[in-house]
Amino acid sequence: MNIIFIILNSLIDILLVVVPLFLIVAYTTYSERKIIGFMQSRMGPTRVGPYGMLQPIADIIKLLTKEIIIPSNANKGLFLTAPIIMLVPSLLVWSVIPLSEYFVIANINAGLLFILALTSLSVYGVILAGWASNSKYAFLGSMRSAAQIIAYEIAMGFALVGVLMAAGSLNLQEIIISQKGGIIHWYWIPLFPLFIIYLISGIAETNRAPFDVSEGESEIVAGFHVEYSGITFAMFFLAEYMNLILISILVSIMFFGGWLSPFESTFLEHYFNWIPGFIWLSIKTLFFIFLFLWLRATLPRYRYDQIMRLGWKVFLPITLVWIFLEGFMIYYKIQPWFSV
């Protein structure tokens, strides 16, 4: 009986995370079209429902009912597994994300490493999709994207090393707690270069503009998922937006105190006590999602060799130097971040 109870309990937990997540993804696409529309003096979707609010639902229904076309001479098994390989790690990562001080599906010790390991898996989806499609555009796109993901993963990993050095723990909940004490105690101040690098690498890792050479419409049609249609395409789409939300929430957790209130240990603390941690986390995350959409509307696409140069020759050295400096900061116990 006991074991059934545990399984049921965790199932409910999982549903509590996954169902809202899918909804958020759907409405992220809506808000992306709206926001970019407004930035470019357009209206965005308006037809389906009030203010076009039901547009994502219509999109989902359309994608679910469409036929899956498998190209001739494609490797059928891998062609169909690739979207699954892409989606599963991005879903799995959510199991260790602390959404509030009480709610996390699995509070494991090596949470940060777990996230790093799982995000590194998604590159397989890209490579296999490109290769199994038996199309040169898809293959080119997957090659570009994989090289880009590998290059930026290293800078990203080093940025996270900086965080774990500061927090002294791999557990995400402990990382948040170690930032306690208001907005100036958060790690974005002492780790400012790492924060910026993590943010930019996050965009590159999710293959979004201005780093979207893997999908560059004008050059290679749509990159690695050019041959996909219907539900298989929807899975890539889903994975991409989930990664986007994931990066935003990770930035909030690592550098902006997660579910902590920004007004701790100030005179305002008392007035904002009633707001639950989850709301603070959501506000921070939504801000970064908005930032990503903003960047997409503003910046032109990078050239491929410039992306590689930025990753290997600029970001990697900066992270290394900053980790070195951070070691000194920790050794000399610079207040208020490194008191322990």
Partner 1 sequence: MNAELIIFYLFSIFLIISSMRVVISNNPVKSAIYLVFSFFCSAVLWLLLGAEFLSVILILVYVGAVMVLFLFVVMMLDINLSEITSGFVKYLNEGIFVFIIMSALLILFFQNQFADTNKNIITEIIIISDSNTKNLGYILYTEYILAFEIAAVILLLGIISAITLTHKKKSDNKFQDPDMQVNVKKEDRIFIVKDEDSK
CB of 132 to partner 1, least distance (A): 9
Q: State which residue, 138 or 281, has the beta carbon closest to partner 1.
A: 138
CA distance 37 to 134: 35
Nearest-approach distance from CB 170 to partner 1, in angstroms = 6
Other beta carbons within 10 Å of 115: 24
To the nearest whole angstrom, how small is the minimum distance from the Cβ of residue 78 to partner 1? 7
Nearer to partner 1, 46 or 306 (CB): 306
Rounded CA-CA distance 176/160 in Å is 13
- Least distance (Å) between residue 17 CB and partner 1: 21
Nearest Cα neighbor of 134 from 75, 55, 193 is 75
Site mask for partner 1 (CB under 8 A), range 111-150, x = bound: --xx-xxx-xx-xx--xx--x-------x---x--x---x
List the x/- string, 298-327, binding to partner 1 by CB under 8 A: -------xx--x------------------
CA angle 259/264/267 to nearest 5° reads: 145
Single-letter residue type at 9: N
Size of the site for partner 1 (CB under 8 A): 27
Residue 220 contacts residue 137 (beta carbons within 8 Å):
yes
- Of 131 and 211, the one with the shorter C-beta distance to partner 1 is 131
Tell me 32's DSSP state. H
Q: Please, which of residues 40-79 interact with partner 1 by CB under 8 A?
A: 75, 78
Minimum gap (Å) between residue 246 Cβ and partner 1: 16
Q: How far is the CB of 134 from partner 1 (least distance, A)?
A: 12
Do the Cβ atoms of 109 and 45 come closer than 8 Å? no
Angle between helical axes of 230-255 and 55-65 (0-180°, round to 10): 130
Minimum gap (Å) between residue 124 Cβ and partner 1: 7
Say how many residues make up the chain: 340
Selection from 324, 280, 288 nearest residue 99 by Cα: 280
Q: Compute φ and ψ for 273, nearest 5 degrees.
A: -65, -30
Task: Using the minimum distance from each CB to partner 1, give the nearer residue, 127 or 234.
Answer: 127
Q: What's the rounded Cα separation, in Å, for the pair 302 and 18? A: 33
Of the two residues 124 and 272, which places its CB atom closer to partner 1 in the complex?
Answer: 124
Looking at beta carbons only, is 108 or 221 nearer to partner 1?
108
Nearer to partner 1 by Cβ, of 7 and 189: the residue is: 7
In angstroms, what is the minimal distance from the CB of 116 to partner 1? 6
Measure the CA–CA gap between 276 and 282, rounded to whole angstroms: 10
d(CA 166, CA 186): 11
Between residue 83 and residue 112, which ones bind partner 1 under the rule CB under 8 A?
108-110
> Is residue 177 involved in binding partner 1 (CB under 8 A)?
no
In the bound complex, what is the minimum distance in angstroms from residue 113's beta carbon to partner 1? 4
Nearest to 298 by CA among 36, 31, 33: 36
Between CA 247 and CA 160 the distance in angstroms is 12
Residue 329 in the binding site for partner 1 (CB under 8 A): no
Which residues in 195-254 contact partner 1 (CB under 8 A)? none
Positions in the binding site for partner 1 (CB under 8 A): 3, 75, 78, 108-110, 113-114, 116-118, 120-121, 123-124, 127-128, 131, 139, 143, 146, 150, 153, 170, 305-306, 309
